[in-house]
Structure 1
Amino acid sequence: MASDASSHRAADDRYEKLGDHRRAGDSGLRLPAFSFGLWQKFGTDRSYATQREIVLHAFDLGITHFDNANRYGPPPRAAEKFFGEVLRRDLAPYRDELVLSTKAGNPLGPSPYLKGASRKSLLASLDHSLRDLGTDHVDIFYSHSPDLATPLEETVGALVTAVGSGKARYAGISNYTTERSHEAAELLRRAGVPLLVHQPRYSIFDRRPERDGLLDLAAADGFGLVVYSPLAQGLLTDKYLDGVIPPDARAHDSAFLSPDAIDDTYRERARALDEIARLRGQSLAQLALQWVLRRPEVTSALISASSTWQLDHNIKALDFPPLTDGELALIDRHGIHGTGARP
């Protein structure tokens, strides 16, 4: 555990490394091309010192948006507690430079109040998150998933209350269908709290935002997209190209990636994409990140890292020339929607 005194001085050139921030939809808020997600690698099963080093390095690289949720760990809320320690000990002097987000709505436990998007569940969870993070507000508060058992008006009303109370600066949604996203955006607009961002899964192997019209809706309704899993849980890296699953790979214990996904069909497609990347002088991961960021509707891509090297490597995706029409056509040929999807 770090000492109580801050030992971190942020890099003076941190705003020179990621280029201009991107405006989130029609709002005035700008986010970096890459945001840092604390989804799966910031629980109590990981080294605090390593986690801290990675987060502080991300900030030094110009990543100002840190994405959390009450469910992230393991166990639930562990990631928020971890970030709260880093904020208190190291990043407190830079709080006004940070965009902190959290979410509520996915199950935390058996209680009916520890799940769903009711007013009670969302607002109670937000209060708990603020205590864990050690801050009086988050910048973005999300409804983590749609709750069909709760009227959408109630869920939206809770987001409006969160913003109106000053406990959140902006409202967001995540994992909503296109139709429900539009309904939420309309309700929020009428309440005077425009929808800032939607957080969907999006990658070369998961093209639902293209197929179901979410990209078009974002442009029409004026909200940004902060996309998660742009590397498809590691399938769009070189980790599995040789057919061997490393002992520490996520495929062994993830609810979102099965060893069965690492089959001949996946390897054939991933190797073809890797060859496209190699011809461009970049890695498959860098190609995949550049691919999601090519869309103007995408405000930011969420990335995480197991090391500072991995973080440095991934953000270099911004250094390569734009993808050509020919390269995009080749990517479409081999980047088949549903590749590696868990049944």
Structure 2
Amino acid sequence: MQTITLGSNGPQVPTLGIGTWAWGDTLFWNYGKEYGAEQVRGAFFAALDAGVNFFDTAEIYGLGESERLIGQFMKEADRPVQIATKYFPLPWRFSAQAVVDALTASLKRLQVDHVALYQVHWPFDFLMSQQTLINALADEVEKGRIGAIGVSNYSADKMRQAHKFLADRGIPLAVNQMNYSLLNRQIETNGVLDAARELGITILAYSPLAQGLLTGKYTPDSSPSLTGARKLDPRFSQKGLEKISPLIKALQQIGDAHQRTPAQVALNWLIAQGGVIPIPGAKTANQAQQNAGALGWSLSPDEVTQLDEISHSCR
């Protein structure tokens, strides 16, 4: 299994993870209607069978249900599992004790005494300063309840600030989790990717398949009925699908050459960027198996360049 270090000296994890926003979420992903606990349990164990044992969750995913499900599944598993979860800086959380309490609650739902990675979900300050927040997280590293500290959706400047606060405590910032895919390459131009490489920070790429657009399942001629969050995304409109059609065709052609799917090609392109871990979602065992097919092979430099160029023309 290909592995990567989180940040400069964090835990070793596979170069592919699983995002679990949809596990237990009824608001955006119709959990309990279109799929349920048995389906996501199948995804969990299919991922483990494929060597993918890194799962990203958050306290707000399904209002804690995602963490609870993962905790149950880990109890059944006889293999090591590495968990990343997140703290949400809610307005009424204004002291370091709020971080302690939130982490304690997450660990209880997960039924573990520590997690590999604990991330700040959004760069909100409200009544708690970033320095207070970061110092509270550093305290938890020293207690052993967190293996590494990450942030999510942080700008280059905010990421540098968090990095500095942690450096003052002798702890590296390991991760910035960002929206990154062939259809969302903003971090390449807004300074985030450059700063991450300079500081040795790993990018966790969420929505790496652009909510399914890069799977090839959605085309101008044939598109499944839209549910959940996809109903709100203009990229799934007829016009949006026509715009990305050249990229989907390129993914299919390259995939055919490697006997891989468009989704596997899109995920492999992210891995090829270096210092990037895609964390696609998976609601079923089949989806988890398909995700894992992005590992064990590599795009050629020419194919990476080809996708770069077509991707830019489709934005």
- Match for residue 80 of structure 1? 67
TM (normalized to structure 1)? 0.80
Moved over 4 A (4+): 248-253, 255-258
- Match for residue 102 of structure 1? 85
The percent identity for this pair of structures is 27
Measured in 1, the distance between the counterparts of 2:250 and 2:219 equals 10
- Match for residue 26 of structure 1? 8
Q: Tell me which amino acid in the other structure corresponds to 1:329.
A: T
1:48, CA displacement in angstroms? 1.5
Query: Structure 1 pair 25/171, CA: closer, same or farther in 2 (3 Å)?
Result: closer
- Match for residue 47 of structure 2? 58
1:337, CA displacement in angstroms? 7.9
Summarize deviations over 1:263-313 as a string: whole Å, max 9, x none: 421334433443343344432111110100002222x22122232222222
- Match for residue 237 of structure 1? 215
Tell me if the contact between 1:139 and 1:170 (Cα under 8 Å) persists in the aligned partners.
Answer: yes
Measured in 1, the distance between the counterparts of 2:145 and 2:48 equals 23
List runs of 5+ in structure 2 lacking aligned partners.
Answer: 26-30
Q: How many residues are aligned here?
A: 306
List runs of 5+ in structure 1 lacking aligned partners.
Answer: 1-18
Query: Structure 1 pair 213/29, CA: closer, same or farther in 2 (3 Å)?
Result: same
1:106, CA displacement in angstroms? 5.9
2:106 counterpart of 1:124: no
Measured in 2, the distance between the counterparts of 1:189 and 1:338 equals 40
Measured in 1, the distance between the counterparts of 2:8 and 2:244 equals 38
Query: Structure 1 pair 133/231, CA: closer, same or farther in 2 (3 Å)?
Result: same
SS of the aligned residue for 2:119 comes to: strand
Tell me if the contact between 2:96 and 2:136 (Cα under 8 Å) persists in the aligned partners.
Answer: yes
1:126, CA displacement in angstroms? 1.3
Tell me if the contact between 2:2 and 2:14 (Cα under 8 Å) persists in the aligned partners.
Answer: yes
- Match for residue 166 of structure 1? 144
Measured in 2, the distance between the counterparts of 1:307 and 1:336 equals 31
Summarize deviations over 1:122-173 as a string: whole Å, max 9, x none: 3322121112111122221111110143422122112112222332222111
Measured in 1, the distance between the counterparts of 2:260 and 2:311 equals 17
SS of the aligned residue for 2:243 comes to: helix
- Match for residue 121 of structure 2? 144
Tell me if the contact between 1:305 and 1:311 (Cα under 8 Å) persists in the aligned partners.
Answer: yes
Tell me if the contact between 1:172 and 1:198 (Cα under 8 Å) persists in the aligned partners.
Answer: yes
- Match for residue 202 of structure 1? 180
More helix as a share of residues: 2
Tell me if the contact between 2:179 and 2:206 (Cα under 8 Å) persists in the aligned partners.
Answer: yes
1:241, CA displacement in angstroms? 2.0
Cα-Cα RMSD: 2.5
> How do 1:1-343 residues align onto structure 2 when only pairs under 5 Å count?
19-43=1-25, 45=32, 46-73=35-62, 76-88=63-75, 90-91=76-77, 93-94=78-79, 97-105=80-88, 112-113=91-92, 119-149=96-126, 150-247=128-225, 249=227, 252-253=230-231, 259-260=236-237, 262-298=240-276, 300-325=277-302, 327-336=303-312, 339=315
Measured in 2, the distance between the counterparts of 1:307 and 1:182 equals 37
TM (normalized to structure 2)? 0.87
